Structure 1
Amino acid sequence: MANVGVVQYRIAPLQTEAQFWEGLEHHVRQAQKQGVELLVFPEYLTASLLALRPALTHRQACAYLDQFTGTYLKFFQKLSREADMMILAGTHIHEVNGSYVNEAFFFYPDGRVERQMKLHLTPEERKVWKLAPGEDLRVFDTPIGKTVILICYDIEFPELARIAAEQQAELILNPVYTDTMAGYYRVRHTAQARAVENQRFIVQCGMVGGLPHIPQIDAAYAQSGFFSPCDHPFPPDGVLALCQADQEEVLSCQLDLERLRKNWEQGKVSPFKDRKPELYRRLQAEIETKS
């Protein structure tokens, strides 16, 4: 049994940088009181710091956020150690080899830091932010099971979650930033599809609120949650727990990895095991031959 938490974070005006870091620590301490072992923050977490500046171009915003990289890393390494908690500290835009990337950082209490770049960039991230995509999917060994991070849009591509499942990942963490209800439901419904087709747990965490005068984070909508297969012994709708829609909240949920593993063997259906790779390869070859 693993106690996992999400911080459905509210974007709001800031008076000082210290206010931002103090707010994050407050959320971690709330989760600590709930006995959380692994805490997930949303995508673009540090973009809230743009509230301290007048409106910037996207390129200027990238350079501005990159200045906080050292502070961000030291802050969460210290907090993870003090709280004795694994923390997926959302994502942070920073520079790598001359390009800006959207990258998730996973902090362990012993000081280790794992990283996962966003692999599929949205049209806005490619054309406006001009970010560079990642090219590798990491699978992390954690005390509560093998874990992968699929950042927002990445969850909409079934191949990634399937590859993760084939590498024995049991828990898929999905930090998101969606600025409309339509965007939220895209990632929500595809996250639940990934949970069903791969028989895995999905933890999705998003932002709420907004800063109308900041073009990069002018609005956010989410209802973060924990999702399972829609099969015995889990709820019929595959929803283990949900935050209140569009409200800031720290929510925890007990994820029973043993029950998940039993579902692989005893579920009424087994879509992960019952797939037919040879058939798919033949059909794909026929399509390529015709084209």
Structure 2
Amino acid sequence: MIDSAKIELRNLQVQDYEELKESMIKSYHSMPHEYWTKKEIKTLIRKFPEGQLCIEIDNKIAGCALSIIVDYDKFDDNHDYDSIIGGENFSTHTANGNVLYGIDVFIHPEYRGMRLGRRLYEARKELCEHLNLKSIIFGGRIPNYSKFASELTPKQYIDKVKLQEIHDPVLSFQLSNDFHVKKVIKGYLSGDHESKEFATLMEWNNIYYTKSGNLVKSTKTVVRLGLVQWQMRLFKNYEALVSQIEFFVDTISSYQSDFVLFPELFNAPLMAEFNHLNEAEAIRGLSEYTDRLLETFREFAINYNINIITGSMPQAVGDHMYNVGFLCRRDGSYERFEKIHITPAEESAWGMKGGNQVQTFDTDCGKIGVLICYDVEFPELPRILKDQGMNILFVPFMTDTQNGYSRVKICAQARAVENECYVAIAGSVGNLPRVANMDIQYAQSAVLTPSDFAFPVNGIKAEATPNTESTLLVDVDLDLLKELHNFGSVRNLKDRRKDLYSLKLRKKNKS
């Protein structure tokens, strides 16, 4: 479990050296005397600062990726490690090269299992694309080969790793991150007895590479959303529900999604154990799981490198019960959001109270907003969020009948048009016959858009099959919103008559 872990992916600094050295020694336990000198790290940072990446957790270096740029046309595939990196001065590095060459990646043993290596590899890919380099190449160790060398050639070993008949901690990871084996090299790294001094020359091709070069730096504008259409059913226990959560997070993150959205009150199946209580007491019992689920979601956000919008859960604050959710960012931070408008059923059955927080949230994909179900039926809230800079509105919902669902969808679609934004809605399906007030569900999750030439004619980017557990993966282009705002057929935001009316959020103290 994590408490207040803060994860930051950043460029390595010279003052990080002592922690870097300690992490490397522990990472390469079989070669404890092989670590970079401070002079070498200084040289790398001076020559190519943006190519030296590290992950810091709670002010401690947890992982590192070092690289240079080389003119690969001057080398052939049979090179060795020392010749390709140019010795301790890295003399082969050139800003005019065409390949990003990886010279080291390692993760401190204490932080393995958090998928930090994948995060470093993704950062390298983004750097390769940004610098308009042809590919990423490096020599990869095959540390488990020594166990099979007497019976398998390197080629046979690699083939078995590809077929997952053998697991190699390095090669298996590289293959799962879209690298392919370009060649087997003999004598690549002197002293690598675990690999029998063999190495796999690994390559990842930049499909956006253009020979012309001179690309200007551009900000990422296409954001991938993953929506969970959650099946309501009874779970054997809390751990079984968490396992289902992780399945969806794992699945959606494997498609390199930026966000995953869960529905409102998705954890309602856990209420079955409180059926002997009245409805108000049962929802309070369910709220006892909220803090545990928050910590679980925070772990998953870090481990799977994805921003998670947790849907909503009941939370007791003093004598009051609120319907709340959390944005768990992939850097370990999180924020809380509240349902502002409580339905009559929530108030009468559960004694729910409306929250007071209306705000956008900063993410690595820009500002977002989150409104829980009924809240999207009040146009003032999304307009306030849009005025704060929101481009994507997430709406976790729970509706029992199709007419209830239609209210949410129709209003969400109107909000997309009014506010020139994308709206993602995700709900639950199925039934819970043993849970009072939660017995039937209806949903069709969707991503909704403005209605203009750059968008689908019906304002629906994509939608799931109704009443079937599934995921929905959708790319949304934020640049299209800018074009709409400036050149759209109609300009809903620009054409507001502020000389006649205005909208203002009042500050209110929490009760």
Contact 2:275 2:282 in 1 (8 A): no
TM-score by length of 1: 0.93
What one-letter code is carried by the residue in structure 2 that aligns with 1:133?
G
> Which structure 2 residues correspond to residues 178-257 of structure 1 after superposition, within 5 A?
178-257=399-478
Deviation at 1:221? 0.4
Measured in 2, the distance between the counterparts of 1:70 and 1:157 equals: 29
* Equivalences, count: 281
Which residue is 1:85 aligned to?
306
Contact 1:195 1:227 in 2 (8 A): yes
Measured in 2, the distance between the counterparts of 1:106 and 1:55 equals: 33
Contact 1:55 1:214 in 2 (8 A): no
Measured in 2, the distance between the counterparts of 1:16 and 1:168 equals: 41
What one-letter code is carried by the residue in structure 2 that aligns with 1:145?
G
Moved more, 15-24 or 50-59: 50-59
SS at match of 1:254: strand
C-alpha distance after superposition, 1:17-45 (max 9, x if no partner): 21111011011111012221100000002
Asked if 1:149 corresponds to 2:387, the answer is no
What one-letter code is carried by the residue in structure 2 that aligns with 1:233?
A
Q: 1:70 aligns with which of 284, 287, 291?
A: 291
> Which structure 2 residues correspond to residues 102-181 of structure 1 after superposition, within 5 A?
102-181=323-402
SS at match of 1:215: coil
**5+ residue gaps, structure 1:** 282-291
User: Sequence identity, in percent?
Assistant: 34
Asked if 1:3 corresponds to 2:224, the answer is yes
Cα distance change, pair 147–70 in 1 and its aligned pair in 2 (3 A) = same
Which residue is 1:22 aligned to?
243
Which residue is 2:143 aligned to?
none
SS at match of 1:84: coil
What one-letter code is carried by the residue in structure 2 that aligns with 1:96?
V
Measured in 1, the distance between the counterparts of 2:399 and 2:334 equals: 26
Measured in 2, the distance between the counterparts of 1:279 and 1:72 equals: 46
Which residue is 1:279 aligned to?
500
Which residue is 1:259 aligned to?
480
Measured in 2, the distance between the counterparts of 1:147 and 1:94 equals: 23
Q: How big is the alpha-carbon RMSD for the aligned residues of Structure 1 and Structure 2?
A: 1.2
Measured in 2, the distance between the counterparts of 1:132 and 1:272 equals: 32
What one-letter code is carried by the residue in structure 2 that aligns with 1:26?
F
Deviation at 1:144? 0.9
Measured in 2, the distance between the counterparts of 1:109 and 1:55 equals: 39
RCO greater where, 1 or 2, for CA within 8 Å and sep 6 or more? 1
Measured in 1, the distance between the counterparts of 2:385 and 2:392 equals: 9
SS at match of 1:60: helix
What one-letter code is carried by the residue in structure 2 that aligns with 1:278?
D
Deviation at 1:229? 0.3
Measured in 1, the distance between the counterparts of 2:276 and 2:345 equals: 17
Measured in 2, the distance between the counterparts of 1:85 and 1:48 equals: 25
Deviation at 1:110? 1.7
Measured in 1, the distance between the counterparts of 2:284 and 2:336 equals: 20
Which residue is 2:320 aligned to?
99
Contact 1:226 1:239 in 2 (8 A): yes
What one-letter code is carried by the residue in structure 2 that aligns with 1:254?
D
Choose 1 or 2 for highest CA Rg.
Answer: 2
Contact 1:10 1:248 in 2 (8 A): yes
Moved more, 231-240 or 48-57: 48-57
Deviation at 1:56? 3.6
C-alpha distance after superposition, 1:95-128 (max 9, x if no partner): 1132110001110122111111100111111222
Contact 2:271 2:283 in 1 (8 A): no
Measured in 1, the distance between the counterparts of 2:224 and 2:419 equals: 21
Moved more, 153-162 or 209-218: 209-218
Deviation at 1:52? 4.1
Deviation at 1:185? 0.3
Deviation at 1:55? 5.2
Contact 1:55 1:213 in 2 (8 A): no
What one-letter code is carried by the residue in structure 2 that aligns with 1:34?
Y
Which residue is 1:33 aligned to?
254
Measured in 1, the distance between the counterparts of 2:262 and 2:383 equals: 24
Measured in 2, the distance between the counterparts of 1:102 and 1:172 equals: 18
Cα distance change, pair 66–123 in 1 and its aligned pair in 2 (3 A) = same
Deviation at 1:276? 0.9
Contact 1:93 1:103 in 2 (8 A): yes
Deviation at 1:279? 2.5
Deviation at 1:84? 0.5
What one-letter code is carried by the residue in structure 1 that aligns with 2:346?
E
Deviation at 1:53? 4.4
SS at match of 1:68: helix
TM-score by length of 2: 0.54
Cα distance change, pair 56–273 in 1 and its aligned pair in 2 (3 A) = farther
SS at match of 2:441: coil
Contact 1:40 1:88 in 2 (8 A): yes
